[in-house]
Amino acid sequence: MEKEVVMITGASSGLGAALAKQYMSIGAHVCLVGRSRETLRTTIENDSKHYSIYEGDITDKSDVTRIVFQIEDEVGKVDMLINNAGVGFFGLAEDLSEPDLSTMIDVNVKGTIYCTQAILPEMKKRNKGTIVNIISTAGRLGKANESGYVASKFAVRGFTESLQAELAHTMIRVSGVYMGGMNTPFWEGILPVEKRELMMQPEDVAEIIVHNLQERRHVSVEEIVIKNKKPNK
């Protein structure tokens, strides 16, 4: 039986790296996509060898097409795409800079759409596949000092739900994952260490996602919501 091919963007750290390790541990071949080949290699060092590395820019549609063609040539058709790459810049709405806003829209929204466009035609030909968009709870509820980030995540939520409607008559599964803050490098320089230590661990979140997305006959998991547990006062 051929290995399942899983493509993960933003796989160099945090949840992306944790998901990569989870899928490798169950025998999938993981295609790690990110901006730095060296960072991706370091992340997976000493783990299973069932992976390949693809350096590129998901905000460049032609680069995404190149990466997917390379994956198909070297490994095979993508069975699962996990759109995990994301960036965030925070502060008051009136202080949000044009470069920061453009970066969030380019990475969070356009990157998700470009990667999906690149793999979808082959999934449709086979009438099989899974697309997973890592959205964050910022795609469900507005948050103070996160207006630009929230706007980008609401856009990804809209894209996800529209894709689910478009593919409802197929066997292609589309899932949106809405998780709270995790203790990852995403928050470095934004939150103090003591607050980050109270957050969920990416390894736990990855385990929950992988378990819930196991292919089951006649089952489609459209949403996964994972939140930090607040201690009772």
Kindly name the residue from 23, 51, 149, 178 that is annotated as catalytic: 149
**Whole-number Å distance between alpha carbons of 181 and 167:** 30
Helical H segments across the chain, by residue range: 14-25, 37-44, 61-74, 98-104, 111-126, 147-166, 193-196, 202-212
Paired tokens of 189: 């320089």
Catalytic-residue membership of 51: no
* The total number of residues written for the chain in this structure: 233
Distance between first and last Cα of the chain: 52
**Nearest to residue 40, comparing CAs of 67, 72, 1, 2?**
67
Burial class (CB in 10 A: 0-12, 13-18, 19+), 104: buried
Per DSSP, the three-state class of 21 is helix
Burial class (CB in 10 A: 0-12, 13-18, 19+), 125: exposed
SS3 labels along 53-101: EEECCCCCHHHHHHHHHHHHHHCCCCCEEEECCCCCCCCCHHHCCHHHH
**Whole-number Å distance between alpha carbons of 112 and 85:** 8
Residue 137 is given by DSSP the state G
User: Which residues are designated catalytic?
Assistant: 149
